[in-house]
């Protein structure tokens, strides 16, 4: 792959540019640069090398490796499926792919049982078919590629923002404006490597939000992603003082409401409700939706009752 540096990337470190251009993690970009798989204007460079407008970055991407995750017969809520893609409504509590601490019981394990060998290998041995992810405690829609051509096409849609994703969330406090846009770069936190944070040299990240309902001390939001960074909604909303209900990572101590209704709040109250994409083979524009999970609906019901009684 050869990428030409545009004006928007002027002055970026090479690892930052490659991660964004190739749609890979920063750690993967660093690893591949160190392994000599990346050239800057035909010459070896380091992750700290700075790119300028017009530079050419050559990336010898590693070949997909055979998937080695184990198939497990785990029920799936299949919203749509054909020979190229499958769209799943992921439940709260399910991890998307195997990783440290979650070797099995994941969406990938379930997909391997459901699809057999019909999953793309671009994502590697532990992430077959996975084009984008949602957090363990986030519910909702996720598109999966069943072959390499579909994976590449869907990844391109994520990058050029033709794939649209809409979420619903309940956040702390009452947001002043009925709508707005948060445009703050996100990168790995320097204080806690397990967290993301607003970072001046982070990757571009933008989220639009729209108020759906207001309650006593809480707000129901509709959120549209312009980019797809790790923990993007959680980090952005926390950065403006409106962290997500149930988010133990990006908010302070639990509120009285969260303590009272722990059974309904297993984690952040966030749901991927709408997904729009272009079919990688037919070119058809497709839209999918997933209803709010029962716990989310119940929380809204309680909040409405509390607000109406004030």
Among residues 143, 159, 175, the one where a domain terminates is: 159
pLDDT tens by residue, 159-181:
888 899 999 999 999 999 999 99
In a domain, 70, yes or no: no
Confidence of residue 310 (pLDDT cuts 50, 70, 90): low
Q: What is the pLDDT of residue 29?
A: 84
- Total of domains in the chain: 3
Q: What is the pLDDT of residue 123?
A: 62
Q: What are the φ and ψ backbone dihedral angles of 165, each rounded to 5 degrees? A: -130, 130
Q: Which residues lie across from 188 on neighbouring strands?
A: 196
In a domain, 240, yes or no: yes
In a domain, 66, yes or no: no
Do both 140 and 178 map to the same domain? no
Burial tier of 179 (Cβ tally within 10 Å: 0-12, 13-18, 19+): exposed
Do both 119 and 51 map to the same domain? no
Do both 121 and 256 map to the same domain? no
Please, what's the b/e burial string for 69-94 (b: 16 or more CB within 10 A of its CB; e: otherwise)?
Answer: bebeebebeebebeebbbbbbbebeb
In a domain, 71, yes or no: no
Phi-psi region of 287 (alpha: psi -120 to 50; beta: other; left: phi over 0): beta
Measure the CA–CA gap between 226 and 212, rounded to whole angstroms: 19
| Mean pLDDT of the chain, nearest integer | 89
Average pLDDT over residues 230-247: 96
Do both 29 and 128 map to the same domain? no
In a domain, 54, yes or no: yes
Q: What are the φ and ψ backbone dihedral angles of 258, each rounded to 5 degrees? A: -65, -40
CATH of the domain at 13: 3.10.290.10
2-4 sheet: strands from edge to edge: 2-4, 56-59, 38-40, 43-44
Do both 218 and 293 map to the same domain? yes
Do both 172 and 227 map to the same domain? yes
> What's the DSSP call for residue 8?
G
Nearest CA to 273 out of 287, 284, 255 is that of: 287
Q: Report whether pLDDT(189) > 90.
A: no
Which pTM does this prediction carry?
0.75
In a domain, 64, yes or no: no
Do both 155 and 168 map to the same domain? no
Do both 145 and 97 map to the same domain? yes
Reported residue count of the chain is: 310
Do both 173 and 211 map to the same domain? yes
Do both 256 and 296 map to the same domain? yes
pLDDT tens by residue, 65-85:
544 678 889 999 999 999 999
Measure the CA–CA gap between 234 and 248, rounded to whole angstroms: 10
Who wins on pLDDT, 287 or 101?
287
Helices (H), 2-147: 14-22, 26-34, 107-115
Do both 115 and 225 map to the same domain? no
Confidence of residue 126 (pLDDT cuts 50, 70, 90): low
Among residues 142, 159, 176, the one where a domain terminates is: 159
CATH of the domain at 106: 3.30.2350.10
Residues with Cβ within 8 Å of residue 280, at least 6 apart in sequence: 84, 85, 145, 149, 150, 153, 154
Q: What is the pLDDT of residue 130?
A: 84
Sign of CA dihedral 68, 72, 74, 79: positive
Position of tokens 């979650």?
Answer: 102
Among residues 159, 188, 214, the one where a domain terminates is: 159
In a domain, 123, yes or no: yes
Do both 152 and 183 map to the same domain? no
Query: Which structural domain, as residue segments, surrounds residue 51?
Result: 2-59
Nearest CA to 144 out of 133, 136, 135 is that of: 133
84 is catalytic: no
Query: Of 15, 135, 137, 247, which one is the catalytic site residue?
Result: 135
Q: Which residues lie across from 38 on neighbouring strands?
A: 59
Measure the CA–CA gap between 193 and 106, rounded to whole angstroms: 23
Sign of CA dihedral 169, 170, 172, 177: positive
Select, from the ranges 19-28, 121-130, 278-287, 299-308, the one with the highest average predicted confidence (pLDDT). 278-287
In a domain, 68, yes or no: no
Q: Report whether pLDDT(308) > 70.
A: no
């Amino acid at each position: 792959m050869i990428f030409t540096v545009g004006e928007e990337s002027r002055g970026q470190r090479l690892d930052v540019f490659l991660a964004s251009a190739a749609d890979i993690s920063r750690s993967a970009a660093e690893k591949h640069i160190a392994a000599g798989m990346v050239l800057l204007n035909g010459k070896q460079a380091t992750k700290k090398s700075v790119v300028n407008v017009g530079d050419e970055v050559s990336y010898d991407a590693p070949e997909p490796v055979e998937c080695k995750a184990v198939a497990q017969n785990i029920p799936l809520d299949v919203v749509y499926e054909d020979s190229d893609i499958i769209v799943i409504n992921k439940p709260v509590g399910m991890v998307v792919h195997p990783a440290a601490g979650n070797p099995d019981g994941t969406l990938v394990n379930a997909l391997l049982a459901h699809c057999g060998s019909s999953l793309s290998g671009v994502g590697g041995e532990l992430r077959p078919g996975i084009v984008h992810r949602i957090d363990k405690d986030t519910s909702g829609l996720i598109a999966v590629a069943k072959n390499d051509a579909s994976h590449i096409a869907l990844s391109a849609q994520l990058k050029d923002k033709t794939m649209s994703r809409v979420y619903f969330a309940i956040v702390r406090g009452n947001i002043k404006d009925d709508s707005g846009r948060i445009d703050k770069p996100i990168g790995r936190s320097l204080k806690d490597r397990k967290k993301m944070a607003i970072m001046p040299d982070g990757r571009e990240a933008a989220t639009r939000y729209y108020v759906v309902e207001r309650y006593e001390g809480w707000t129901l939001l509709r959120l549209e992603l312009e980019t797809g960074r790790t923990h993007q909604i959680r980090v952005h909303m926390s950065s403006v003082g409106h962290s997500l209900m149930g988010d133990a990572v990006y908010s302070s101590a639990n509120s009285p409401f969260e303590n009272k209704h722990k059974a309904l709040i297993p984690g952040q109250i966030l749901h991927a409700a709408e997904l729009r994409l272009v079919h990688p083979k037919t070119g058809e524009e497709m839209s999918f939706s997933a209803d709010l999970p029962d716990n989310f609906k119940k929380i809204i019901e309680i909040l409405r009752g509390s607000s109406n009684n004030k």
